[in-house]
Chain A
Amino acid sequence: MNLHGIDYSIIGLYFLFVLGIGFLLKKRIKTADDFLMSARNIPLWITSLAFISANLGAQEVLGMAANGAKYGLYTAHFYWLGAVFAMVFLGLFMMPFYYGSKARSVPEYLKFRFDEKTRTFNAFTFAAMTIFSSGISLYALAMLMQVILGWDFNVSIWIAAGIVLAYTFLGGLTSAVYNEVLQFFLIVLGIAPLVYIGMQQAGGLQGILANVDNAKLHLWKGMGSAATNPMGTDAFSMIFGLGFVLAFGYWCTDFLVVQRAMISHNLNDARRTPIIAALPKIFMPLIVIVPGIILLALQKQFSGFELPLNVNGQVDYNMTLPLLLSKLYPSGILGVGITALIASFMSGMAGNVTAFNTVFTFDIYQTHIKPNAGEKHYLNVGKATTVVGILLSILTAYVARGFNSIMDLLQLVFGFVNAPLFATFLLGMFWKKSTANGAFWGLLSGTGAAALTYSLTTAEGKGGSIANLHTFYSGTSQAFNIAWIAFVVCFIVTAVISLFTEKKPEKELVGLVYSLTPRQQDKNRIWYKNPLWIAVIVLVITLALNVIFY
């Protein structure tokens, strides 16, 4: 792919604006709360867009286009089943406890609800996961720049890490959030023309219908059995594994996204943040999945659209979006498209680093290393943690270079950490009898069950390190099944141990447990200020799309 002066100018201009936002915000950062929590003072439209942008990382933009080519429209389940319902649930039912408890992080809520050991366990696993994820984003960015632009791997890593460090160090979480919003518009407006040109070249909707395998143009058809749909997943593991456990585990408990709602002005804004974010989320498949389907139609009609092979000799679906950019975009808009890709990687990395520094500073450093220090001290720790987080991400990126399957491993790690955590939250928020010991041992058992299931099953040649008791049709199916098993084990162990261990007094659980907390009355008559009404609109649209694309 050959870039021209205009393309490099657009990339340079983007870097200039990103750094400029960091410099502008620098003088407003005076305390640790400003740096790590944006002083809970961010407007609703920004928190909503940042909420989905924090998830618009490398996996989303490149990965969903790749899945679009591999699985077709079934990939939309990650949105219309695996995101929207969980985002609505978070806004309506869980946000009052996160925001109302005045917790500064998800692990801190666990401390209020359960105890210190549960919080520490979650803080460490989450911190490790964010660094791992940030490093993978950096690695993927450098690899992409090397493969499609011929840039040096080391130079790409250090430049991208340097820019993310500069703007997160200068402006903290606010800078990351503001850049996420800029990145959101860049990704949408930078990739949308590709969908238009691709559709035109593929012969419009008729061309897609005529040239793409019909099995890849449905959402639910063939879901009766894992053998009868391209994703290799049956309806049960899709609905329970993805739609319930993985989706709710990620959107409702992952501090990376929940943090964006927790920095709102007030509780009503915090509740509306994920629900309003669900509206653009519903339409994201148009930008990130449809290009993969367009590629399938183009492959049938023209030569030159074949995907390259990866190091294992398999079709490299991750090159779907870069291939389309290089084939369909002329210089100029190509610069915007490449900048959008760079933005998605940097957005993913910055989101992880800012979540890491908050959790490390508040939940590990302030709790276990130096409690009761001054604001200035924690501000400095937050800034130092940002530098350490970036350096660890760079180290992870270099380690990732030596492993072929590290992306798969990342997907599994999400299942190991988030799936059991959702069971802990579900019981913690909605069952007043759940106890600290139940939660802690439930989390450990759930994570252990996930690891054991992975070691006893295989999919696409992966897993089964102890024995192979079952072979899944696809890695995706394996991930969904591991998730629901981890959830069920955590749920049962937590519930059983809670029945035999000491409960917290009810007066300590007010504001933390549903049955002991005064209900939020959604009485606002203006529909867009009422979370319930927005939720109804979001759910009706989502259900309609599921029916239309059945």
Chain B
Amino acid sequence: MLSSIKLIIMNKFFDLRFVIGAFFLVVGIMLLIYSFFNEAVAHAAVNRWSAIFFIVFAVVMILLSFDKKPEDKL
């Protein structure tokens, strides 16, 4: 079970949409967490809104990677 999940995740890394989604998901989560601890900074809300947008974009890209045609593989 664990090895098949590992295999699925490894295969996903060969899809560019998944890679882009993973990048923006990590950046979005980092920004979101950071925004909660730095609310006093000027324009701090932009971190939170950007984070939410990045996470939504990332989720869309990752979901698209599951609708894969053979030619979309890396």
Distance (whole angstroms) from the CB of B45 to the closest CB of chain A = 9
Distance (whole angstroms) from the CB of B63 to the closest CB of chain A = 15
Determine which residue in A13, A181, A328, A330 has the highest number of CB atoms from chain B within 10 A of its CB, and name it.
A330
Task: Indicate whether B30 reaches chain A with its CB closer than 8 angstroms.
Answer: yes
How many of chain B's residues touch chain A, expressed as a range? 20 to 34
Distance between Cα atoms of A6 and B36 in the complex (Å): 13
Q: Contacts A17-B19, A185-B24 given: A193-B46 contact, CB under 8 Å?
A: yes
Task: Indicate whether B44 reaches chain A with its CB closer than 8 angstroms.
Answer: yes
B71 touches A43 (CB 8 A): yes
Provide the B20-63 mask, 1 if CB < 8 A to any CB of A, else 0.
10111011001100110010011110110110011001000000
B34 touches A6 (CB 8 A): yes
- Which of B23, B27, B47 contacts A330 (CB under 8 A)? B47
Distance between Cα atoms of A175 and B43 in the complex (Å): 36
Q: A20 to chain B: which residues have CB within 8 Å?
A: 13, 19
Task: Indicate whether A400 reaches chain B with its CB closer than 8 angstroms.
Answer: no
Q: Contacts A6-B30, A185-B24, A336-B27 given: A330-B42 contact, CB under 8 Å?
A: yes
B50 touches A330 (CB 8 A): no
Q: B26 to chain A: which residues have CB within 8 Å?
A: 13
Distance between Cα atoms of A329 and B14 in the complex (Å): 33
Which A250-305 residues sit within 8 Å CB-CB of chain B? 265
A330 touches B74 (CB 8 A): no
A43 touches B72 (CB 8 A): yes
Task: Indicate whether A25 reaches chain B with its CB closer than 8 angstroms.
Answer: yes
Distance between Cα atoms of A24 and B13 in the complex (Å): 8
- Which of A9, A17, A265 contacts B23 (CB under 8 A)? A17
A181 touches B46 (CB 8 A): no
A189 touches B57 (CB 8 A): yes
A24 touches B46 (CB 8 A): no
Provide the A522-533 mask, 1 if CB < 8 A to any CB of B, else 0.
000000000000
Nearest CB in chain A to that of B53: its residue: A189
Nearest CB in chain A to that of B70: its residue: A43
A21 touches B43 (CB 8 A): no
B27 touches A13 (CB 8 A): yes
A197 touches B54 (CB 8 A): no
B30 touches A330 (CB 8 A): no
Q: A102 to chain B: which residues have CB within 8 Å?
A: none
Task: Indicate whether A182 reaches chain B with its CB closer than 8 angstroms.
Answer: yes
Please count how many residues in chain A sit with their CB below 8 Å of the partner chain's CB atoms.
Answer: 31
B13 touches A330 (CB 8 A): no
A185 touches B42 (CB 8 A): no
A9 touches B30 (CB 8 A): yes
B43 touches A197 (CB 8 A): yes
A182 touches B34 (CB 8 A): no
Task: Indicate whether A546 reaches chain B with its CB closer than 8 angstroms.
Answer: no
Nearest CB in chain A to that of B44: its residue: A330
Which A313-331 residues sit within 8 Å CB-CB of chain B? 328-331
Provide the A381-403 mask, 1 if CB < 8 A to any CB of B, else 0.
00000000000000000000000
Determine which residue in B38, B71, B74 has the highest number of CB atoms from chain A within 10 A of its CB, and name it.
B74
Q: A21 to chain B: which residues have CB within 8 Å?
A: 19, 74
- Which of B16, B34, B43 contacts A178 (CB under 8 A)? B16
Nearest CB in chain B to that of A41: its residue: B71
A182 touches B46 (CB 8 A): no
Task: Indicate whether A28 reaches chain B with its CB closer than 8 angstroms.
Answer: yes
A331 touches B38 (CB 8 A): yes
B30 touches A182 (CB 8 A): no
Distance (whole angstroms) from the CB of A331 to the closest CB of chain B = 7
Determine which residue in B27, B35, B44 has the highest number of CB atoms from chain A within 10 A of its CB, and name it.
B27
- Could you list some 27 contacts between A and B, CB below 8 A? A6-B34, A13-B23, A13-B27, A21-B74, A24-B13, A24-B14, A25-B74, A28-B74, A41-B71, A46-B16, A178-B74, A181-B20, A182-B19, A185-B57, A189-B50, A189-B54, A189-B57, A193-B50, A197-B46, A265-B71, A328-B43, A329-B43, A329-B46, A330-B43, A332-B30, A332-B31, A332-B47
Which 4 residue pairs are nearest across A and B when measured between Cβ atoms? A332-B47, A330-B41, A330-B43, A332-B34
Please name 12 further chain A to chain B contacts, defined as beta carbons within 8 Å, in addition to the given A6-B30, A24-B74, A174-B74, sorted by A numbering.
A10-B27, A24-B13, A24-B14, A25-B74, A182-B16, A189-B53, A193-B46, A193-B49, A197-B46, A329-B43, A332-B30, A332-B38
